[in-house]
Chains A and B, each alone.
Chain A
Amino acid sequence: MVGDKKYMSMIVQPIFVSVVYLFLYLPIIVMVLFSFNKSANPMKWGGFSLQWYTQMWNIPEMVAALKTSLIVAAASTLLSLIIGVCFVVAHKWWKSEVLFSFFYVNILLPDIVLAIGVLSIFTFSHIPLGYGSLIVGHTLIGLGFVIPIIRARFVELDPYLTEASLDLGATYFQTFRRVLIPLLMPSLVAAGLLAFTLSLDDFLIAFFCAGPKVQTLSVYVYSMVKAGVDPTINAISAVLLGVSGILILVLLSLNVIDQVLSQE
């Protein structure tokens, strides 16, 4: 029996785990490898080259889509952080648990419902689709994650700190700016990173709400893939993977990963 147990933990489990990781990473590794392929035939290895990484910047649609993605991600991150932190802080003084659970809806509803919701409200009120609808949609997703993360940190704060600040004559606004914001900073950075990547990676909302004139990077890549395999997509994908990797490393180094995990 003891031998059986040892056999399980020493051999079977590591093999199982490596097979699962291989399953996750095999396609990614092959894709990144072939982004350095010299040959224009995406399936045949023709030697090492960085040409696709330089060539992708010459595609105007790609550059425009990247610009859109970055603008929308930055704007929606900023918006969801500001709105979110205000809500969490107010929630303390203005108690109501029900209001807080409103924001679980953003995570629990399938994205596609948020997307057609934003699409229909913009069309219904005759506001043209574009940057506005994209930012609105991504801020909705962002809020769903930002509020729980900031709140996880906020409830751990010593309540006497805010009371002391108010007692010492600071107004609500001063307390907010001088006491709460610095204390909440780590969670704000983590939440911001998460909101930024969620916006950058989102496909569904951008697919529905971008309108005919603008497109985000995900939608651009989608339309490229629909047309077939192309080495420039490999290069773009590899760059996106690299950016995600850097963002995750920043997040991990902030040591707030436990909070994020407990919220997921």
Chain B
Amino acid sequence: MAADETDEQLMRRFQRGEARAFETLMHRHRTPVYSFLLRLTGERTRAEDLAQETFLRLVKGAAGWEPRAAVRTWLFTIARNLAADAARRQVFRATESLDAPGPDGERPRAGEPAASGPAPDEAAEAGRLRLRLEAALAALPAEQREVFLLREHAGLSFGEIAEAVRVNENTAKSRMRYALLALRERLAADGIVAPAVPSGRGPP
């Protein structure tokens, strides 16, 4: 059991009946998967549930997994699909809340910094920047956000993203472009990055 084993090696060992191989896999990917889901859904409890479900699906599907498929891609595809299904079912949220009333109905925003004592100005500034970045990400249309997250935070290739999101690769890329433009616009409005250069000011 080594931490430097690949996901695929761990998966093979899990298929052979070594639960501890799964444990390593889980610890390796829990935070990335949870972060992805948190930023995708914007809801902590939902992200937690979906992350849990993602790994249960991994357990369930382990027997049928084949080494051709990268575990990481598979995992994020499951997570993304579960989130998409959950979003489609959002009309039933009233129903769900009956089953799972949150501690006090709070719905924290993604990336909210942990409450703490007075922080140095620098840390406070970094916290504020981070909040703005999270907000910019959260303001993206869902289809652009998922592509951005799958690419930048999950590290999937556009081919893999296209497969996960069930669009063609060009669509995935163009969503990425729109995402970047929208993010820039938003961050420029906050004075964080330079605004778009007005057309016409360009070279001949």
To the question of whether A and B form a pair in one complex, the answer is no
Residues of B at under 8 Å CB distance from A?
A: none
A residues touching B (Cβ–Cβ < 8 Å)? none
